[in-house]
């Protein structure tokens, strides 16, 4: 399967790239830093650039509880208004790339194949269907 080969190639490339900072301590601290950098990049899109705004409030769902999933979805808001500008999008994409790199690096150290995890999680989602609300 092409996707399987691409993923395995990526995991191997990450493994080859991590020569100097191979310790799990370096990798998991970089992994955590990558998470923080994504949050920071999104925050800067709001507070420095302004291309997106956050307007958060409790989601208001009509009482009764007999809404279809699609009806319920129409009452749920992600609280983000606007769209990322090209510059912010590029910065955030780069940070997600860094997170992906260190996610794979951490998985490599503990001998976990993330493609197998992707397949398992996808099967779980398919099995849960429309009734899984989180």
Q: Which residues bind Zn ion (CB under 5 A)?
A: 45, 49, 51, 85, 88
Of the pair 40, 109, the CB lying nearest Zn ion is at 40
Closest CA to 34 of 100, 117, 84: 100
| Cβ–Cβ < 8 Å for 61, 72 | yes
Of the pair 45, 108, the CB lying nearest Zn ion is at 45
Of the pair 46, 100, the CB lying nearest Zn ion is at 46
| Cβ–Cβ < 8 Å for 59, 76 | yes
CB of 78 to Zn ion, least distance (A): 17
CB of 101 to Zn ion, least distance (A): 24
CB of 95 to Zn ion, least distance (A): 14
Cα separation, 96 vs 105, in Å, equals: 14
Of the pair 38, 72, the CB lying nearest Zn ion is at 38
Spacing of C-alpha 113 from chain mean position: 17
| Cβ–Cβ < 8 Å for 92, 41 | yes
CB of 110 to Zn ion, least distance (A): 36
| Cβ–Cβ < 8 Å for 81, 55 | yes
């Amino acid at each position: 399967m092409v996707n399987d080969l691409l993923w395995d190639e990526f995991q191997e490339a990450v493994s080859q790239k991590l020569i100097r900072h191979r310790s799990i301590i370096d990798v998991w601290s970089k992994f955590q830093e990558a998470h923080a950098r994504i949050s920071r990049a999104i925050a800067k899109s709001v507070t420095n650039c302004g291309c997106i705004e956050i307007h958060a409030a409790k989601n208001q769902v009509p009482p009764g509880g007999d809404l279809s999933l699609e009806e319920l979805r129409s009452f749920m808001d992600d609280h983000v208004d606007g769209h990322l500008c090209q510059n912010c999008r590029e910065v955030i994409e780069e940070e997600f790339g860094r997170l992906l790199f260190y996610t794979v690096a951490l998985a490599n150290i503990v001998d976990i194949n993330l493609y197998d995890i992707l397949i398992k999680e996808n099967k779980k989602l398919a099995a849960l269907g429309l009734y899984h609300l989180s």
